[in-house]
Structure 1
Amino acid sequence: MRVVFAGTPDAAVPSLRLLAASTHDIVGVITRRDAPLGRKRVLTPSPIARAAEELGLPVIKTDRLDAEATSRIAALKPDLGVIVAYGGLVREPLLSTPGRGWINLHFSLLPRWRGAAPVQHALIAGDEVVGAAVFQLVPELDAGDVFAVLEHRPVGGETAGDVLDDLAHRGAYLLEDVVDQLAAGTAVATPQEGSATFAPKLTLDDGRIRWNEPAHDVLNRVRGVTPEPGAHAELDGARVKILAARAASTARELAPGEVELVGKEVLAGTADEPIALVTVQPAGRGSMAAADWWRGLRGIGPVVLR
């Protein structure tokens, strides 16, 4: 089939590469415009733009799938549209432009966690099983019939970045299978069942640690917002990023946010038991072991993160 592919971040790259190596013809790649990144705000192509250039595929850079973008895509005469984390909505008439419509690889077990940040919200909520689904795009957000799913059970201290990396690679094969089935006329989709939950894009405030929550919930939040937007707290008005944390191996009664070195662990109090801070990044400095950060705070009095 003639396929147009829409995607932007690293998580979409495995799918593009696999489809580009398949028997199908990628006639165009749609991605968002170059964005300013880093302290110097250098305009940088998206990961999908870089991958498409490497693969020799034609690229359409647009932040809106508007009339102009629709016209350019229609000129490619696609049989199928494939979207993986593009970062924008596909509406009519673009939705009906490819002969077989659009399919979406979404990183959740629909209808749970429709929206922009499904993996992050699933981990924050403490879901024991997460996953990915390939579904038919319809006007309603992430509500179309589902062709295929895969599951992932987070273990240990897996972060949203870790889980998304696994789902992106395994999901690429799931997506390729569905494209092959659509081409062969054997694909079967089933309606979504159950109550929908929603996963809007995370804000900086989503990464703020709520020390008055139980330790389990605090750790879930740290995992869910890592690497973006990042877990953080404040000490004397300055932000401290919590890059890694785990359950404490030492019992200690601490007030929420109170920090102490106990044995070899830097513990921070929560609503019930403390957690152990592993790696932190104080404002204006690089990442460091929490114990080194603690030693640098000697003499300032009680340490309480807000």
Structure 2
Amino acid sequence: MPNDLRIVFAGTPDAAVPSLRALVAAGANVVGVVTRPDAPLGRKRVLTPSPVAAAAEDLGLPVVKAARLDAEATERIAELSPDLGVIVAYGGLVREPLLSAPTHGWINLHFSLLPAWRGAAPVQRALIAGDEVTGAAVFQLVPELDAGDVYARTTYVPGADDTAGDVLTALAERGSELLVDVTRQIAEGSAVAVPQSGEPTLAPKLSLADGLLDFARPASEVLARFRGVTPEPGAHTTLKGERFKIHAARRSDGGSLPPGTVEATKGGVLVGTATEAILVERVQPAGKAAMAADAWFRGQRGDVELGS
């Protein structure tokens, strides 16, 4: 890759790390990395650098930590004299004058087939909606949310039991290759972007409430929501009025049960829905650690109904 193109990379979570590493491995001239500030993690709330910050330190790259891309962050980025901004899941909006600061503007790796699922949670929303095909796209950042012209895209067919975490991991790797190709084309002057076509759909950030499983719905819908909210914000139901987390679930051939009714089976427990029962393999009752579903069920007395 021509290394005279000065690149500023912006990203925060694990899903952005493959793109940063791929750019550096391809010989890109990454002059700075922008990421969100250290965040308190774990029970002891220890301030911890973002995955991108940790990767940048490992790669020996200068880091700008900013909670939002305000005037101060814009000034620090402008001091790097970037020719191109590259953003992957930074967690904040790029507005003017920063949007136009790099000579070639900003390109964004987004984990959907735009214009489908514009917004913060494209993979999660696609799975909840039951999309059989998803993907990633590299596009030119514009003021309107995820609406810029698209340079390249790649499709991906999730496995039947893949969660949002699984799909995002796969797309982060595939997307990093796509991003490197587009960056190389921009550096060489051969990149071509085309306007998005079709009706946009929106993918707003998920809340804790989005993780609630309704066993009165068909099994396909219950599992689609489970896959879409796993691992974040997490799938849950209630048991005797308390929050009850579900960490692993999939299709079963165990017949049908009344919605929410639990029955023991090999490898877990069956939980009834409006159609066939689903297999739940790992759970976390309120105030306890995660455990195998069958081990939890053996400790229960009498009939058990989730959603109660």
Does 1:59 find its partner at 2:63?
yes
1:284 Cα shift? 2.4
Aligned to 2:199: 195
**Aligned counterpart, 1:276:** 279
Aligned counterpart, 1:131:
135
Matched, 1:21 2:25: yes
Out of 288, 296, 302, the residue aligned to residue 291 of structure 2 is 288
- 1:93 paired to 2:97: yes
Which position in structure 1 is the counterpart of 2:53? 49
Gaps of 5+ in 2: none
2:210 equivalent in structure 1 = 206
Following superposition, the deviation at residue 255 of structure 1 comes to 2.2
Match of 1:103 among 101, 107, 110: 107
Match of 2:40 in 1: 36
Equivalent residue number for residue 270 of structure 2: 267
| 3-state secondary structure, aligned to 1:87 | coil
The structure 2 residue matched to 1:256, chosen from 247, 256, 259, is: 259
Give the letter aligned to residue 282 of structure 1: P
Query: What does residue 222 of structure 1 align with?
Result: 226
Residue deviations 1:35-94, cap 9 Å, x none?
Answer: 111111111110000000111100000011011111111111000000000000000000
SS in 2 for 1:304: coil
Moved over 3 A (4+): 262-265
Between 103-112 and 206-215, report the one with greater CA deviation: 206-215
2:72 alignment partner in structure 1: 68
Q: 2:210 corresponds to which letter in structure 1?
A: D
Taking structure 1 as the reference length, what is the TM-score of the superposition? 0.97
- The amino acid across from 2:86 in the alignment is V
Counterparts in 2 of 1:89 and 1:264: CA distance versus 1, 3 Å: closer
Query: How far apart are residue 263 of structure 1 and its match?
Result: 6.2
Paired with 1:257 and 1:139, the residues of 2 have a C-alpha distance of 45
How much identity, in percent, do the aligned residues show?
A: 67
1:3 aligns with 2:4: no
Instruction: Determine the C-alpha separation between the residues in 1 that align with 2:99 and 2:91.
Output: 15
Cα offset, 1:22, TM superposition:
2.4
Farther off after superposition, 145-154 or 277-286: 277-286
C-alpha displacement of 1:262: 4.7
CA distance in 2, matches of 1:264, 1:107: 33
For 2:61, what is the secondary structure of its paired residue? coil
Aligned to 1:177: 181
Q: Secondary structure at the match of 1:83?
A: strand
Equivalent residue pairs, number: 303
- Equivalent residue for 1:302? 303
Deviation at 1:258, TM superposition (A): 1.5
Stretches of structure 1 that go unaligned for 5 or more consecutive residues are none
> TM-score with structure 2 length normalisation?
0.96
Residue 257 of structure 1, CA deviation:
1.2
Q: Decide whether aligned partners of structure 1 residues 62 and 264 sit closer, same or farther in structure 2, where only a CA change above 3 A counts.
A: closer
**TM superposition shift of 1:18:** 1.1
The RMSD of aligned alpha carbons is: 1.1
3-state SS of 2:118 partner: coil
